Amino acid sequence: EPNQPMVFKQKKMLVEQIICSRHIASFYRLLKTIKVLQGGMKDGRSHYQSQIKSKLWHWNHY
């Protein structure tokens, strides 16, 4: 049949698209987790810094 290769090509493209979209989804998930981790680290750091500042403030004012 003459249209057989065409169907095969379309199927191959579809499979590639599915694989690609899966990769992109997992990549975005990875980015999100990295961002969350970085945000958590930043929050922790700022919390730590504010604790130090308040301690210094207490030491300076008492």
d(CA 25, CA 21): 6
User: CA triplet 29, 34, 52: central angle to 5 degrees?
Assistant: 150
Q: What is the pLDDT of residues 3-62, one digit of tens each?
A: 677 888 888 889 999 888 998 899 999 999 988 888 877 777 777 788 888 888 877 775
pTM summary value: 0.46
- Half-sphere exposure for 5 (CA within 13 Å, toward CB): 1
